[in-house]
Each structure stands twice: as structure tokens, then as C-alpha cells.
Amino acid sequence: MCHKHGVMHRDLKPDNFVFQNNETAFLKVVDFGLSVFFKPGERFNEIVGSPYYMAPEVLKRNYGPEVDIWSAGVILYILLFGVPPFSVDTEQGVAQAIIHSVLEFKRDPWPKVSDAAKDLVKNMLNPDPKRRLTAKEVLERALRVIAEHLSVEEVAGIKEGFQVMDTSNRGKINKQG
């Protein structure tokens, strides 16, 4: 949603995700202190963010919104594996780790992680920002994985619910109906 509205967070990390409240448990992104508005193709050069989650191009002082995808990929890696992909705590250390590291998916729990999840992590942590997934592509892949694991009954229920909300029969819904 941020990228769609031209906002680059630049400091995505687990600390900046909170649940809105206990009843609805909506997950929210917070701490937009380092965020900036961007236009397509615009490049930035400030070194900002947290070293564990910083994309390699930030250190090269030439980046755009794809840095948020890198950070989200690091978070996903940690959620699946339990440790960061690059275990360092300085900007220079991150750069060296990224340059000399290859993501390794052989140790536990990786053999139990689906190929789709591994592929998503690899494509979010692609050191080449031009080949890294966009926010839209990450969302599409995530929705596809979720859809692939739904039962026939769950799909039918979702389709029925959508049709109830699609009062104009356009195949699209918005807040107005």
C-alpha cells in the first residue's frame, strides 16, 4: 500500500510492526521517521535504516523503493529460519556479508519449507535491485500461495462472499460496494 501511494519506508524491521489491538489483531507498520515520498524512477542517496535489514544498494547510495522489499525479505527469512541471513551489526559488515554470502537452504528448517516460500525469499533478497520483486509481485505471489492451499469449500465461500459485495457485478469491489 505504501509503494502504491509513493511512500518508501526505508527502515522496515520487526520492531516497526505492531498489532493494532488484541481484538482485531490488525498488523500495522509504524515509525515512518525515515520514510520519504518517491516518484517512479527517482533515486535516493542517504544511508538510512538498520544494518541487519539494509539493502546493499543503500550503501552504494543509489536506491529506490526496492530497498523495502529487501528488508521485508530479511524479515521473512528470519520468520522462517529464526536468524538473520547476514549475521553482522555494522553497515560495512552487512555489505561484506552480502557480497560474500549465498543464501543457503539446506539446514533445518529449510528442507521443510515449501519451494514457493524459498523462491519468494530468494527473489526478495536478490542483490540486484532490478531483478528483485516489486511490492506488487510479492503480494501476487503471496496471494497465489495462499490460494493454492485453500480447500474447494473455502474457495466457494470466498467466491460467494465476493459476489455479495460486488453489487454492480463488475468483478471489482471497493469501499462503496
Annotated catalytic, 11? yes
**Which pairs with CB-CB distance under 8 Å and at least 24 residues apart come from 77-80?**
77/103, 77/121, 77/125, 78/14, 80/109, 80/110, 80/113, 80/117, 80/121
Helices 115-124 and 66-81: crossing angle in degrees, nearest 10, is 140
| Count of Cβ atoms closer than 10 Å to residue 123 Cβ | 16
Active site residues: 11
